[in-house]
């Protein structure tokens, strides 16, 4: 007789992208493509800008004034840099701040309205999609920067999953 077919239901299918998420990601892709932001050069620049941002030394207003005066007097100063230990401490602080932010966001998921849950789910998905465009360019980043990016991705996935689980818990 016929084959005995087992159920092909995947319990993780509830986490598959929704039609709205797919449409939003396609719209995002079209917008980025129209602005020429998905070219290899643009994706590489985005990645290198991330590195530069993590290495940027923020100056106090007094230091900015001193630097401007030095430039005005024809004595430009060398860019300020972090020592290895200062850079490591900065990365750890960035990860701590990110973890605190996302942990609070995750804690607040049950308090969100249905519309906020939907936005959280969609925005988290768009973050994951954006990561997928850039991941090939992350290979040359320092390990500490890769750790920031990977941690961010894990949080985006966790928030999206929490939003979906909460919507299901509410019967939506």
Instruction: Write the DSSP string, the chain.
Output: ----PPP---GGGGGSPPHHHHHHHHHHHHHHHHTT-SSHHHHHHHHHHHHHHHH--PPPHHHHHHHHHHHHTT-PPPPP---HHHHHHHHHHHHHHHHHHHHHHHHHGGGS-HHHHHHHHHHHHHHHHHHHHHGGGGGGS-HHHHHHHHHHHHHHHHHHHHHHHHHHHTT-
104 pLDDT tier (thresholds 50, 70, 90): very high
Structure tokens that stand for 74 in this block? 């024809």
CB burial of residue 99 (10 Å; 0-12, 13-18, 19+):
middle
Q: pLDDT tens across 120-160, in order?
A: 999 999 999 999 999 999 998 989 999 999 999 999 999 99
pLDDT: which is higher, 26 or 77: 26
Mean pLDDT of the region 62-67:
90
The answer on pLDDT for 105 being more than 70 is: yes
Mean pLDDT of the region 54-80:
88
The answer on pLDDT for 109 being more than 80 is: yes
The answer on pLDDT for 9 being more than 90 is: no
- Per the prediction, the chain carries an average pLDDT of 90
Q: pLDDT tens across 13-61, in order?
A: 899 999 999 999 999 999 999 999 999 999 999 999 988 888 888 888 9
């Amino acid at each position: 007789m016929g084959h005995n077919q087992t159920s092909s239901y995947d319990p993780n299918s509830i986490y598959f992208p929704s039609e709205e998420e797919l449409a939003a990601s396609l719209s995002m892709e079209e917008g980025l493509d129209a602005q020429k932001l998905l070219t290899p050069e643009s994706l590489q620049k985005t990645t290198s800008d991330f590195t530069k941002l993590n290495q940027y030394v923020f100056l106090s207003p007094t230091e900015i004034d001193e630097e401007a005066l030095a430039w005005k007097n024809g004595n430009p100063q060398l860019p300020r840099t972090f020592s290895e230990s200062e850079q490591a401490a900065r990365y750890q602080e960035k990860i701590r701040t990110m973890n605190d932010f996302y942990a609070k966001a995750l804690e607040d998921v049950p308090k969100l309205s249905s519309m906020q849950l939907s936005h959280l789910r969609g925005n988290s998905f768009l973050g994951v999609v954006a990561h997928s465009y850039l991941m090939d360019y992350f290979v040359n980043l320092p390990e500490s920067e890769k750790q920031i990016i990977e941690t961010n991705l894990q949080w985006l996935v966790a928030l999206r999953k929490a939003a979906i689980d909460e919507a299901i818990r509410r019967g939506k």
